[in-house]
Amino acid sequence: MNAQMVLTMGQDALLLLLMVSAPVLGAALLVGLLVSLFQAVTQIHEATLAFVPKLVAVIAVFAIAGPWMLTMLVEYIRRTLESIPSAVA
């Protein structure tokens, strides 16, 4: 295993991390922004009003994008495990 293989595997892992976390983080960001805007307009400052919609949105994204996320992670692990013999040799 040379330095180039290690850097490529690390780069692939970081890219996968960004791709898998982006839908969840994007949904939480969008809902948080909308709730904050709503709270600023109505001057309602309730802590649960900021937390519950984000939680519901994240659960919905996991329900919708969860299979895709799991497939991406399983494929990465499969590729990594299959590359072990070539890395050892």
Asked if residue 20 lies in contact with residue 74, where contact means CB atoms within 8 angstroms, the answer is no
Query: How is residue 43 annotated by DSSP?
Result: T
Q: How confident is the model at residue 46 (pLDDT cuts 50, 70, 90)?
A: confident
Rounded Cα–Cα distance for residues 23 and 38 (Å): 22
What is the predicted pLDDT for the residue at 86? 84
What pTM did the predictor assign?
A: 0.80
Rounded Cα–Cα distance for residues 29 and 23 (Å): 10
Higher pLDDT, 68 or 88: 68
